[in-house]
Amino acid sequence: MPSTQSRYHEVYTRWKSDPEGFWREAAQEIDWFKPADKVFDPAAGAYGQWFVGARCNTCYNAVDRHVAARGDQAAIIYDSPVTDFKRTISYAELQDEVAALAAVLQDMGVEKGDRVVVYMPMIPEAAFAMLACARIGAIHSVVFGGFAAKELATRIDDARPKVILSASCGLEGAKVVPYKPLLDEAIELCASKPDACLIHQRPQLECSRIEGRDLDWAQEIARAKSAGRKADCVSVAATDPLYVLYTSGTTGKPKGVVRDNGGYMVALKWSMGNFFGVAPGEVFWAASDVGWVVGHSYIVYGPLLHGCTAILYEGKPVGTPDAGAYWRVIADHGVVTLFTAPTAFRAIKKEDSQAELLKKYDMSSFRALFLAGERADPDTVKWAEDILRVPVVDHWWQTETGWPVVGNPLGLGALPIKHGSPTVPLPGYTVEVLDEGGNAVPPGTMGAIVIKLPLPPGALPTLWQAEDRFRESYLSVYPGYYNTSDAGYIDEDGYVWVMGRTDDIINVAGHRLSTGGMEEVLSSHPAVAECAVIGVRDPLKGEVPCGFVVLKSSTQQAPAEIEKELVGLVREKIGPVAAFKLAITVPRLPKTRSGKILRGTMKKIADGDPWSVPATIDDPMILDEIGDVLKSRGVAG
Ligand code: COA
Ligand code: AMP
């Protein structure tokens, strides 16, 4: 069903016929210190590398190069509804802030290639921190604030940062969430301690500093500014890492997704105009968190590379103060495009199903809503379309890819929308669906969604110091393809339908979590003999985790007490973001005769979906037991 207005087919065909020519042309939008010797070198890295030989600086392209033409334009608007505080930072001010912070980092001993962990709430200093690292060629690793000390410690031990940047607290709705005690605890747990920490003291919560290790952010910046200290943008190889972003893997050990500089800039810049359809100077808002890939690509780097105004919003879709919060931000700042997770719209719909609050705001600037991070259920998409009367664009991608894989490219002219499908593969991506044997399946048939190698610019070249894990996790399952670990199908019109994961990753309120990691935590409790964690459908968060535990026969403690301890343990070890609220004691778990726990069938029972008894089951009775216990706990759908 081709659209006559859209240039999508023409552009996609152009890319397919000459990928290197396509990306060479896109690369002209970036300022390079030295152009690439080869646009793509198939012999470099695990599957080839982009812009080999080129030299560049991502901070220069995101900040400095805009100062001459748009120095007075807002680069970042920080909007914090709980503190009722707004701050507009122009491109010229951003350059000053970032150059001063980069100089402070240099004074703390940070050099090109060193890692810097950023554990910060949604304040402008978090973006300054990322850009300051990019400026001096240091590799940032931002850790989401909703993770607990142990998760932070695991990331610190893997990245081995020279310095950590943090703040006294975050604001989660009306709650003040202390960050500094978690940082101290994490460093305590770490084998690899940083040399120093730079702590941003927020007015909402005083924190203590450890003598000899912790420096005060404001004092150090003031010192650098009064001494006129500013760091220059250093030249890095296009293939050098810009950042490492940890994401959930199938075990408790997260994967350090590496992002390079050159390819990432080219891909993000291309996506801003051609996919999101925004122009330099316009206001772009990604309502996510800097701790996630959406925050990296579309709160900070994408909008700034494109010369847009980026919104940094430290609030929730509801409760700060009400379900009209998003409309207020759009109206106040003239937002053109909003990007968020479907769960945010489910939350708004739950509070204000008739969208009465929308009537209070001038939405005339608003052109499009983009949804990603989890499956966009058709009901939510339709509701958003009805109330907003602008295109609602579901698009699919992953931390690993860094930018959208499948979507409806508004900048090229929208294709017809099919609710439930994120539409079509974007230039750069050949998406296929394979069966278990690695054979292509006919249209409409479910299978594993894969991307033909090489991946385009911007996608991960490897995992941080874990090339073998990279090959094993992504490249070896289907030779010649990148395995997305998502399942779905492609229909007769070439539309991709993403239906769920093939591994044990679940998506809770758009946050990617590993049930395997939660199982590791449950198993560490002395009373637990074995366990299984599944994601159960939830009307607000999409999915929430539910843990089943079998207790050791020697246990004297009451099951209810243990269940409470287990909920506390996951919160303590993984963090509140896991939203682990339900542990259920069962006498036994359903398994195949070879001992594999039937998590898929348990999920179907919990979700109230049709299920059949697997032929390989050891004892079919156990499935009824699971159904009964779920019903008794009010879970079975
Ligand atoms: N720092 C510290 N704690 C955090 C945090 C952060 N950055 N982010 C979340 N948390 C905490 C929350 O306070 C909550 O703690 P609680 O159990 O004490 O209440 C817990 O982690 C779960 O958070 P969340 O999943 O966000 O649930 P919520 O009930 O607070 O809010 C939504 C639900 C739908 C409103 C919220 O998830 C949302 O706005 N999502 C849409 C946008 C988005 O961020 N998407 C992610 C990627 S695109
Ligand atoms: P993350 O790495 O946190 O961005 O999570 C990526 C995963 O989220 C994907 O592999 C999918 O499982 C899921 N996901 C993201 N966007 C979509 C979407 N539009 N539709 C369906 N699933 C999605």
DSSP state of 31: -
- In angstroms, the CA 509 to CA 568 distance is 20
Q: Under 8 Å CB-to-CB from 62, ≥6 apart: which residues?
A: 131, 134, 300, 301, 304, 305
Q: Average the pLDDT over 419-428 and give the result.
A: 97
Would you say residue 4 has pLDDT above 60? no
Which is more confidently placed, 253 or 145? 145
In Å, what is the CA distance from 66 to each residue of 24, 61, 488, 517?
22, 8, 42, 43
Lateral strand order in the sheet of 528-538: 528-538, 542-551, 583-585
pLDDT at residue 414, as a whole number: 96
Q: Is 363 exposed, middle or buried (0-12, 13-18, 19+ CB in 10 A)?
A: middle
Lateral strand order in the sheet of 196-200: 214-216, 196-200, 163-167, 115-119, 139-142, 241-247, 255-260
Question: pLDDT tens-digit profile of 79-95?
Answer: 999 999 999 999 999 99
Q: Tell me whether strands 392-394 and 368-371 are parallel, antiparallel or unpaired.
A: parallel
Question: pLDDT tens-digit profile of 538-562?
Answer: 999 999 999 999 999 999 999 999 9
pLDDT at residue 234, as a whole number: 98
Please work out whether the CB of residue 413 comes within 6 Å of at least one atom of ligand 1: no
Please work out whether the CB of residue 372 comes within 6 Å of at least one atom of ligand 2: yes
- In angstroms, the CA 387 to CA 58 distance is 38
Please work out whether the CB of residue 220 comes within 6 Å of at least one atom of ligand 2: no
Question: pLDDT tens-digit profile of 177-230?
Answer: 999 999 999 999 999 999 999 999 999 999 999 999 999 999 999 999 999 999
Helix (H, G, I), strand (E, B) or coil at 497: strand
Six-digit token string for 195: 């040399």
Q: What percent of the chain has pLDDT over 70?
A: 99
- In angstroms, the CA 473 to CA 471 distance is 6
The minimum-distance atom of ligand 2 relative to the CA of 512 is 3
Measured over all CA atoms, what is the biggest interatomic distance in the chain, rounded to whole angstroms?
Answer: 75
Six-digit token string for 290: 């800097």
Please work out whether the CB of residue 314 comes within 6 Å of at least one atom of ligand 1: no
For residue 1, what pLDDT band results from cuts at 50, 70 and 90? very low
The strand ranges marked E within 553-602 are: 583-585
Q: What percent of the chain has pLDDT over 90?
A: 96
pLDDT at residue 250, as a whole number: 73
Lateral strand order in the sheet of 335-340: 85-90, 74-80, 309-313, 283-286, 335-340, 368-371, 392-394
Which residue out of 275, 395, 498, 506 has the highest number of ligand 2 atoms within 8 Å of its CB and is therefore the one to mutate? Answer: 498
Of all protein residues, whose CA lies closest to atom 3 belonging to ligand 2? Answer: 512
List the CATH code of the domain at 8-315+395-475: 3.40.50.12780
For residue 637, what pLDDT band results from cuts at 50, 70 and 90? low
AA identity, residue 211 = E
Within the chain, which residue ranges are assigned CATH 3.40.50.12780?
8-315+395-475
383 alpha carbon – ligand 2 mean position (Å): 21
577 alpha carbon – ligand 1 mean position (Å): 6
- In angstroms, the CA 295 to CA 589 distance is 39
Question: pLDDT tens-digit profile of 487-527?
Answer: 999 999 999 999 999 998 999 999 999 999 999 999 999 99
Q: Average the pLDDT over 315-344 and give the result.
A: 98
Instruction: For the chain, report the end-to-end CA distance as a whole number of angstroms.
Output: 37
pLDDT at residue 635, as a whole number: 86
Would you say residue 3 has pLDDT above 70? no
Within the chain, which residue ranges are assigned CATH 3.30.300.30?
508-632
- In angstroms, the CA 268 to CA 286 distance is 14
- In angstroms, the CA 526 to CA 551 distance is 9
Please work out whether the CB of residue 375 comes within 6 Å of at least one atom of ligand 2: yes
- In angstroms, the CA 248 to CA 440 distance is 28
Please work out whether the CB of residue 511 comes within 6 Å of at least one atom of ligand 1: yes
- In angstroms, the CA 586 to CA 388 distance is 46
Q: Average the pLDDT over 386-394 and give the result.
A: 98
Which residue out of 393, 394, 512, 515 has the highest number of ligand 2 atoms within 8 Å of its CB and is therefore the one to mutate? Answer: 512
- In angstroms, the CA 536 to CA 630 distance is 11
Q: Under 8 Å CB-to-CB from 503, ≥6 apart: which residues?
A: 250, 485
Residue 93 has φ and ψ, to the nearest 5°, of -65, -40
Residue 85 has φ and ψ, to the nearest 5°, of -125, 135
AA identity, residue 137 = G
DSSP secondary structure letters along 504-556? SEEEETTEEEEHHHHHHHHHTSTTEEEEEEEEEEETTTEEEEEEEEEE-TT--
DSSP state of 463: B
Question: pLDDT tens-digit profile of 231-260?
Answer: 999 999 999 999 999 998 777 789 999 999
- Fold of the 508-632 domain: GMP Synthetase; Chain A, domain 3 (3.30.300)
* Residues 459/401, Cβ–Cβ less than 8 Å: yes
Would you say residue 454 has pLDDT above 90? yes
* Residues 138/105, Cβ–Cβ less than 8 Å: yes
* Residues 367/390, Cβ–Cβ less than 8 Å: yes
Q: Is 228 exposed, middle or buried (0-12, 13-18, 19+ CB in 10 A)?
A: exposed
458, 540, 448: which is closest to 498 by C-alpha?
448
Helix (H, G, I), strand (E, B) or coil at 369: strand
Would you say residue 2 has pLDDT above 50? no
The strand ranges marked E within 376-427 are: 392-394, 406-407, 424-425
* Residues 475/46, Cβ–Cβ less than 8 Å: yes
- In angstroms, the CA 405 to CA 460 distance is 13
Q: How many CA atoms lie within 13 A of 330 on its CB side?
A: 26
Six-digit token string for 514: 């590993």
Positive or negative torsion for Cα 600, 601, 606, 609: positive
Q: What angle do CA 448, 454, 458 make, to 5 degrees?
A: 100
Average pLDDT, the chain: 96
Ligand positioned closest to the Cα atom of 143: 1
Q: How many CA atoms lie within 13 A of 535 on its CB side?
A: 26
* Residues 214/199, Cβ–Cβ less than 8 Å: yes
Please report where in the chains the tokens 């006919």 appear, as a residue: 442
- In angstroms, the CA 27 to CA 35 distance is 9
The minimum-distance atom of ligand 2 relative to the CA of 422 is 19
35 alpha carbon – ligand 2 mean position (Å): 34
